[in-house]
Amino acid sequence: MTHIYGYARVSSTDQDLSIQETALRAAGATIIRSEKKSGTTTKGRDELATLIEFARAGDTIMVTRIDRLARSIADLAQIVRTLESKGVHLKATEQPIDTSSPAGRAFLQMLGVFAEFETAIRRERQLEGVAKAKANGVYKGRKASIDADKVKALVAAGKGATEIAKELNIGRASVYRYMKD
């Protein structure tokens, strides 16, 4: 017996999953796994990993849109390869994606390219905004988490980088950066 599994994802904890879950149920998903995690990587997305691991040949994993599954071509390609190697199909409710057909696979690849492009453009806009804020004196970055004076005092006291790192609970590379200055 084959199953249709749904996967719903939003990026932040204050977003709502109910619209995706309702659409997946209406499309025939009997089990839905949901999570509130960024789509820019598959790391830490335990519900997705569980679905991929649990699905068997002939089963289908369904999403509402492909960007709910992955935001990078590399991640999307890896997920699709894994599913194909298991004989599991991928479908989207709002896009003509169905990896059981050649046209569906082609459309999936095209959408993946656009999802990655959208992520790159968003990152570029964010960096432009940060640069503008810095130029206007509004953005100064986060506050230093390491007390430079403590590092310098411990260096002056003759302690080595490893000892200083352990004492201050910081990385040795950070100690070396302060020692360089």
Active site members: 11
- Between CA 75 and CA 23 the distance in angstroms is 24
Look up residue 98 and give its DSSP letter. B
Give 91's strand partners: 62, 98
Between CA 122 and CA 127 the distance in angstroms is 9
Q: Do residues 86 and 55 touch, judged by C-beta distance below 8 A?
A: yes
Q: Do residues 157 and 148 touch, judged by C-beta distance below 8 A?
A: no
**Cα within 13 Å of Cα(165), Cβ side:** 13
**Sequence letter at residue 105:** R
